[in-house]
């Protein structure tokens, strides 16, 4: 992350030992470690949230494209057999009310 070498870490440790003393140094290290873990967890959560929202946006875009295609060409997404079944079912539904009206009138 910061690209610190062994020599730099030793210098930082010596300075921290001189500044904070040997009694407070372990407590400081634990506190620093916990803080780093919390920071990593928060960053991970933000990253996951961003990725999730990007995926959600991609899904919404794909869905709108599919819906537009279905509106433009509703039967082109079906196989020939499925098209024939849909057309037949549509005819049955649209012709049935007309036949019922004839029976009521006649």
Is the domain of 15 the same as that of 1? yes
Is the domain of 66 the same as that of 94? no
Mean pLDDT, residues 73-95: 74
Is the domain of 66 the same as that of 81? no
Q: Which of 21-30, 78-87, 94-103 has the lowest mean pLDDT?
A: 94-103
Q: What is the pLDDT of residue 74?
A: 65
Is the domain of 53 the same as that of 26? yes
What are 18-77's pLDDT values in tens digits? 888 888 888 988 998 999 999 999 999 999 988 888 888 888 888 888 888 777 776 566
Residue 20's CB: how many other CB atoms inside 10 A? 14
Is the domain of 83 the same as that of 63? no
Answer for the pair 28, 16: CB distance below 8 angstroms, yes or no.
yes
Residue 14 pLDDT > 60, yes or no? yes
Answer for the pair 75, 86: CB distance below 8 angstroms, yes or no.
yes
Q: What is the pLDDT of residue 70?
A: 75
Structural domain that includes position 85: 77-106
Is the domain of 51 the same as that of 83? no
- For the chain, what is the domain count? 2
Is the domain of 61 the same as that of 14? yes
- Alpha carbon distance 8, 4 (integer Å): 6
Instruction: Let me know if 6 is exposed, middle or buried by CB neighbors in 10 A (0-12, 13-18, 19+).
Output: exposed
Is the domain of 16 the same as that of 62? yes
Is the domain of 81 the same as that of 59? no
């Amino acid at each position: 992350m910061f690209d610190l070498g062994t020599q730099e870490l030793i210098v930082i440790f010596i300075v921290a030992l001189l500044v904070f003393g040997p009694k407070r140094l372990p407590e400081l290290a634990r506190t620093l470690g916990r803080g780093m873990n919390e920071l990593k967890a928060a960053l991970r959560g933000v990253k996951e949230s961003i990725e999730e929202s990007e995926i959600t946006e991609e899904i919404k875009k794909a869905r709108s494209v599919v819906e537009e295609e279905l509106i433009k060409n509703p039967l082109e997404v079906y196989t020939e057999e499925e098209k024939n079944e849909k057309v037949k079912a549509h005819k049955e539904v649209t012709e049935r009310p007309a036949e019922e009206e004839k029976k009521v009138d006649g």
